[in-house]
Amino acid sequence: MIRLLYFARLREALGTGGETLELPKGVDTLGRLRAHLAGRGAAWAVEMAPARNLRAAVNQDVANPETSLKDGDEVAFFPPVTGG
């Protein structure tokens, strides 16, 4: 199982702040996870589309599509940050 978190505009668009997920077979990188989530269709397809400017973190460190995933990871997707 991995823990998924969604923040800000993305959280509102998906209608959830997070979930736990059993990593499907073959979904072993952040990029593959994003494609898997986009495959859910509807808002997921829109928000997780490759053209969408999304940032991600694995275990609270900035990650890229090649970052590998393993059981127990905390994975977060979020829009570009706007603090300060």
Partner 1 sequence: MVTKWLFFRLSLGGKAMNVRVQEQDFDISAEIAAMRAGSPKIGAIASFVGVVRDVNDGDSVATMTLEHYPGMTEKSIAAIIDQARGRWEVLDALVIHRVGTLKPTDQIVLVIVASAHRGDAFAACEFIMDYLKTQAPFWKKEITPQGGRWVDARATDEQAAGRWEGIKK
CA atoms within 13 A on the CB side of 25: 0
Residue among 22 and 61 whose Cβ is closer to partner 1 = 61
Q: Which of 5, 14, 27, 33 binds partner 1 (CB under 8 A)?
A: 5
Q: Is residue 80 close enough to count as binding partner 1 by CB under 8 A?
A: yes
Please report where in the chains the tokens 């959280």 appear, as a residue.
11
In the shown chain, the binding pattern of residues 43 to 72 toward partner 1, with x for contact by CB under 8 A and - for none, equals: --------------x--xxx----------
Report, in Å, the least distance between residue 72 CB and partner 1. Answer: 15
